[in-house]
Amino acid sequence: MYKGSITALITPFKNGEIDWKAFDHFVEWQIEQGTHGVVPCGTTGESPTLSHDEHKKIIKRCVEIVAKRIPVIAGSGSNSTAEAIELTTEAMEDGADAALVVTPYYNKPTQDGLYAHYKVLNDIGIPVIIYNIPGRSVVDMSNQTVARLALLPNIIGIKDATADLARPLELRHLVGDDFCQLSGEDATATGFLAQGGHGCISVASNVAPALCAQQHEAWQKGDIKTMEQCRDTLAPLHKALFVESSPAPVKYAASQLGLCSDEVRLPLMTATANCRAVIDHALDFAGLRSDKAKAAQG
């Protein structure tokens, strides 16, 4: 069972290429800050613009750096079932603990098509977490289809990015509490926990890993006061990081913390001036920027 704050890792770039030095440092920093797991090559990692070779190298490098200290859940989805099989098999061979597989985008498969897609991936042997994000993939997997898939031995959980807080409770009634439910939406993560969820695959934890981890640990301990303090401190950041298309905002935020450049790959663009101002305010509200960084902004 995967629980707590799991970071959907950004992929640092420098002059169009992966900045491996920054990546290595970033993963190590995440562990030092208390993150409970990492997801390389997810949406936040700009997986749509990574070459197949880059994708494989990132997952392999992440596994090597983490060295089993926390779980590595590799992004390995595709709208081609054959390609999803290939990426998921490679993730397993590279030592990932589990695979995060997005519902096939653009194709708009039926619920039976979704079931068949994941049934094939189940047979690979690595634990698979369904990634349901209708806002990006258009198709929405129903809780009834999730429940069918939960009967398969290697379909172990779901990342729910619908922001519908009725769904985790309904799904819990259908499949029980042993099926891992992870929020894919930072702003409603605490509500998701209250409705039967176990954790969150987070964008905000790229730049606030300690706070995000503390929030989840407080919930697990029943320390509601601390959880609420973390929630309220993080709230402006959750909103700011989606003022423009992710991960441009979170990459700017990371650049303000000296973690990497704010470079993204086309068709994404770096955060605009208005977006940067919102992020600066949210970082300062959460106490994440140094005085030096604030002074540099004038």
SS3 72: strand
Beta bridge partners of 203: none
Residue positions annotated with a catalytic role:
131, 159
Write the CA distances from 259 to 112, 130, 206, 208, integer angstroms: 43, 30, 10, 12
What gap in Å lies between CA 40 and CA 58, rounded to an integer?
7
**Structure tokens belonging to residue 19:** 């900045």
Is 183 exposed, middle or buried, given 0-12, 13-18 or 19+ CB atoms closer than 10 A?
buried
Please tell me the distance from the alpha carbon of residue 116 to that of residue 133, in angstroms, as a whole number.
18
Q: Please, which residues bridge with residue 180 across strands?
A: 157
